[in-house]
Amino acid sequence: QQQVKQSPQSLIVQKGGISIINCAYENTAFDYFPWYQQFPGKGPALLIAIRPDVSEKKEGRFTISFNKSAKQFSLHIMDSQPGDSATYFCAASGFGGKLTFGTGTRLTIIP
């Protein structure tokens, strides 16, 4: 019940296109859903996060869509750029500091 399932495992998108990564969770006690971006040799960096009282949150080219009834959330990267090539992790947490992470999506943006 603590799992967060993430798909796809890898994704190739053309420059300027939209990258979409999906996550699903089981534990209804989760109420905070961040996305992290990780480059090789670096720690994960917080990109954007959402709480279930809103269905969408946008920050620049990054948007989280949240569907509470389906227990799913997704990250959309608009106008994808080569610099966005990285591994993306969704995560979820309830009360306290424990984040449960998805398995990661390796995103490659091609010219």
Partner 1 sequence: KAGVTQTPRYLIKTRGQQVTLSCSPISGHRSVSWYQQTPGQGLQFLFEYFSETQRNKGNFPGRFSGRQFSNSRSEMNVSTLELGDSALYLCASSGRGTYGGYNEQFFGPGTRLTVL
Segment interacting with partner 1, rule: CB under 8 A, options 10-18, 20-28, 49-57, 73-81: 49-57
**Closest of 96, 72, 3, 80 to residue 37, by C-alpha:** 80
Helix (H, G, I), strand (E, B) or coil at 16: coil
Nearer to partner 1, 85 or 100 (CB): 100
- Peptide linkage before 8 cis (omega within 30 of 0): yes
Instruction: Please say whether the beta carbons of 23 and 90 come within 8 A.
Output: yes
Choose which of 12, 29, 45, 78 interacts with partner 1 (CB under 8 A). 45
Report the site for partner 1 in 70-99 (rule: CB under 8 A).
89, 91, 93, 96-99
Site of interaction with partner 1 (CB under 8 A) = 32, 34, 36, 41-46, 49-51, 53, 89, 91, 93, 96-104
